[in-house]
Amino acid sequence: MSDRPQNFDTLQIHAGASPDPATGARQVPIYQSTAYVFQDADHAARLFNLQEVGYIYSRLTNPTVAALAERITHLEGGAGGICCSSGHAAQIMALFPLMMPGCNIVASTRLYGGTYTQLTQTIKRFGWSAKLVDFDDLDAVKAAIDDDTRAIFCESIANPGGYITDLDAIAKIGDEAGIPLIVDNTSASPYLCRPIEHGATLVVHSTTKYLTGNGTVTGGAVIDSGKFDWSANDKFPSLSQPEPAYHGLTFHEVLGPMAFTFHSIAVGLRDLGMTMNPQGAHYTLMGIETLSLRMRKHVENAVKVAKWLEADDRIESVTYAGLESSPYYDRVAKICPNGAGALFTFAVKGGYENCVKLIDSVELFSHVANLGDARSLIIHSASTTHRQLSDEQRAASGALPNVVRVSIGIEDPDDIIADLDQALTKALA
């Protein structure tokens, strides 16, 4: 094939995949194997010394999982990537090479509730900490960065409200401070947003969501841009200083743009063991083949449903960035040129009680703690995904008591609207 770059719709089918050399199988096989036979003793030694790329043990690498990592890397425009067991695992994997006890990250207040808890509570056990600030206030972001800050973290399209982050502005702040920007791109997928093009260093995904698209498996991914200079200062010794476990190998010096990816495999997956299973990788590979088709339908439906909700007098407000009334509307063309996604919230008149009645009355919508499914999903964030937060934290993240979150699926939009209509009628009767 020529050197002409392939387009997204082609990459989502072909990237990372070629006919199996042993059998000719066209679809990526599920390599359900724990270990791989070495050619000889020297071959084994070269693999363990990172002198040669290959397969040793499936906690580290697996051919099916590697094909998925390569495909997502191509779609995000990165240099390298790894897959792991969940989106939460991906966030820890992204931070692991960067952090030491006493270090902190600066993160957006607009985060998924589980991420909020992970960053404000769980990572304390590693001696890490997080400062959460409003990322619309750029001066506050700058002020939060100190000598111990090792990364900036945000979501491209924030869960639950669907707010869009000005990634270019945040990335510039990171560049000035000499620290990487990590972007959770789960709610957008690389079809709607490619954070690396806006200055992100690392992109994380819960592959469970739009990438798989059918609610069957959990998984995560970390994609590295390959553009960050880990040796520019002494903040990232895991990558810029000799690694004792590999006889003094300095990852960035030897591996350059692939330093983060190889460290994540050779140290992160080796020691943390947050491994993706090959069958899960296979399901996600199949899901990605239709990603652009699904995302176009998700966005088309979300626009129609959001406009209907905004015009309904039973609704107080809608947070969808694809509406002209949204304060984030102007960011859509810049950050998410293919659309504002399909995740947003709306406030129901009558408050908490009517939200609960609405959720108990839907028939087409599924009441689940997930998003990005082909099916339309609904949940009351304040009492579920963001329940563990304080009232102030829930308000900052957009999970107010009178608000429900929807993930609009790819069903007929008139059927989605009809279900919301009948449920609202019952809820506000």
How do the pLDDT tens digits run along the chain, 429 residues long? 567 889 999 999 999 988 888 888 999 999 999 999 999 999 999 999 898 999 999 999 999 999 999 999 999 999 999 999 999 999 999 999 999 999 999 999 999 988 999 999 999 999 999 999 999 999 999 999 999 999 999 999 999 889 999 999 999 999 999 999 999 999 999 999 999 999 999 999 999 999 999 999 999 999 999 999 999 999 999 999 999 989 899 999 999 999 999 999 999 999 999 999 999 999 999 999 999 999 999 999 999 999 999 999 999 999 999 999 999 999 999 999 999 999 999 999 998 889 999 999 999 999 999 999 999 999 987 776 655 666 676 666 566 778 999 999 999 999 999 999 999 999 998
Q: Is 244 inside a domain boundary?
A: yes
pLDDT at 393: 66
Amino acid (1-letter code) at residue 367: H
Q: Is 68 inside a domain boundary?
A: yes
Number of structural domains the chain divides into:
2
Give the domain extent around 408.
292-427
10 is written with which tokens? 């082609």
Q: Is 124 inside a domain boundary?
A: no
211 and 77 part of one domain: yes
Q: Is 214 inside a domain boundary?
A: yes
Could you give the angle at which helices 413-427 and 352-361 cross, rounded to 10 degrees?
Answer: 130
Please state, in angstroms and rounded to a whole number, the distance separating the CA atoms of residues 389 and 1.
52
The DSSP code for 184 is: E
Report how far Cα 392 is from the mean position of its chain's Cα atoms: 25
Which element (helix H / strand E) includes 404? strand 403-407
274 and 365 part of one domain: no
238 and 304 part of one domain: no
317 and 394 part of one domain: yes
271 and 376 part of one domain: no
258 and 304 part of one domain: no
Listed in sequence order, the DSSP H helices in 133-236 are 138-144, 167-177, 189-192
Cis amide leading into 160 (omega within 30): yes
DSSP string, 178-207: T--EEEE-TTTHHHH--GGGGT-SEEEEET
187: alpha, beta or left, given left = phi > 0 and alpha = psi -120 to 50?
alpha
Task: Please give the model's pTM, rounded to 2 decimal places.
Answer: 0.95
Q: For residue 109, what are the contacts with CB-CB under 8 A and spacing of at least 6?
A: 132, 133, 134, 135, 393, 396, 397
23 is written with which tokens? 């059998």
Domain-ending residue, one of 258, 287, 316: 287
The DSSP code for 157 is: B
Please state, in angstroms and rounded to a whole number, the distance separating the CA atoms of residues 35 and 58.
6
Q: Is 391 inside a domain boundary?
A: yes
Q: Is 94 inside a domain boundary?
A: yes
Nearest to 136 by CA among 399, 413, 419, 398: 398
pLDDT at 398: 62
- Count of helices and strands (H, E) across the chain: 18, 12
- Give the three-class secondary structure for 151: strand
Instruction: Write the CA distances from 323 to 24, 162, 248, 308, integer angstroms.
Output: 48, 11, 54, 11
18 and 81 part of one domain: yes
Pairing assessment for the beta strands 343-348 and 403-407 based on DSSP bridges: antiparallel
193 and 319 part of one domain: no
Q: Is 2 inside a domain boundary?
A: no
Please state, in angstroms and rounded to a whole number, the distance separating the CA atoms of residues 166 and 198.
9
265 and 352 part of one domain: no
Please state, in angstroms and rounded to a whole number, the distance separating the CA atoms of residues 81 and 85.
14
Instruction: Write the CA distances from 163 to 99, 136, 272, integer angstroms.
Output: 28, 10, 32
Domain-ending residue, one of 231, 265, 287: 287
CATH of the domain at 325: 3.90.1150.10
86 and 65 part of one domain: yes
Q: Is 50 inside a domain boundary?
A: yes
406 is written with which tokens? 């929807």
pLDDT at 391: 65
Domain-ending residue, one of 240, 270, 287: 287
297 and 409 part of one domain: yes
CATH of the domain at 53: 3.40.640.10
360 and 275 part of one domain: no
DSSP string, 259-271: HHHHHIIIIIIHH
**How far apart are the two ends of the chain, measured CA to CA in Å?**
63
